[in-house]
């Protein structure tokens, strides 16, 4: 199971020394929080080697791959409806960020080089891309680790999801906007999308 922060990371964040049972609990919660991050962003985030993306192709020159960052592309094939797949010559396309770019030839050449003259040909073709994407375990973005630990911290210090609590003469307020249970806040989800997907949602501060 994917876990974007370790119990040692969490212990350092909390300023605690965890017992063996607490380490097990922290790892369980961190794994669950990591799953929430994956679900919220639609990204695997962790490194995946030779994953396969298959879908109807598109018109135009640029095909955006769904998982980012794209590390490398090892093979691309196109299959016409009712036909057989053909592996595309890698010299006819290149990777730019998270997009595969395959330029179109001038119209006259399209008639001669039909297989290579129309960009990604369109939805009557199925495209299959084998590619490696994501981050190595020692390169997970800091915002991902931070959000993972913050989600667990909220449950750790306030497992009942109370808005406030009183112990003796001391009172702790958790805020009306704090999620109840192991959930991500809207600000955390927005910040993750900023970093992982490049969405622009303004300045967001995690706390």
Can you give the pLDDT at residue 180? 62
Expressed as residue numbers, the domain containing 168 is 7-44+137-197
- This prediction's pTM: 0.81
Same domain, 38 and 13: yes
In a domain, 16, yes or no: yes
Same domain, 126 and 156: no
Which of 26, 30, 27 lies closest to 38 in space, CA to CA?
30
* CA separation for the pair 184, 178 (Å, rounded): 9
Give the model confidence (pLDDT) of 113-137 as tens digits: 454 456 899 999 999 999 999 999 9
Can you give the pLDDT at residue 68? 95
**Cβ–Cβ < 8 Å for 43, 141:** no
Can you give the pLDDT at residue 161? 56
% of the chain at pLDDT higher than 90:
73
Which of 36, 35, 30, 33 lies closest to 18 in space, CA to CA?
30
Q: Structural domain tally of the chain?
A: 2
In a domain, 206, yes or no: no
Which residue ranges in the chain fall short of pLDDT 50?
A: 107-113, 115-116, 162-174, 200-207
In a domain, 202, yes or no: no
């Amino acid at each position: 199971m994917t876990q974007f922060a370790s119990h040692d990371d969490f212990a350092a964040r909390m300023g605690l020394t965890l017992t063996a049972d607490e380490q097990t609990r922290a790892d369980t919660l961190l794994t669950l929080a990591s799953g929430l991050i994956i679900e919220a962003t639609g990204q695997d985030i962790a490194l995946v080697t030779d994953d396969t993306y298959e879908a109807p192709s598109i018109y135009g020159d640029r095909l955006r791959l769904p998982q980012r960052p794209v590390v490398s592309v090892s093979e691309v094939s196109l299959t016409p409806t009712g036909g057989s797949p053909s592996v595309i010559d890698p010299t006819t396309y290149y990777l730019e960020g998270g997009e595969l770019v395959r330029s179109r030839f001038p119209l006259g050449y399209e008639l001669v080089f039909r297989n290579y003259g129309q960009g990604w040909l369109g939805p009557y073709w199925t495209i299959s891309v084998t590619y490696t994407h994501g981050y190595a375990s020692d390169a997970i973005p800091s915002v991902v680790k931070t959000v993972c630990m913050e989600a667990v911290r909220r449950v750790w210090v306030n497992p009942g999801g109370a808005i406030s609590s009183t112990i003796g003469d001391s009172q702790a307020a958790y805020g009306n906007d704090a999620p109840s249970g192991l959930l991500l806040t809207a600000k955390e989800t927005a910040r993750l999308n900023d970093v992982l997907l490049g969405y622009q949602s303004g300045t967001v501060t995690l706390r």
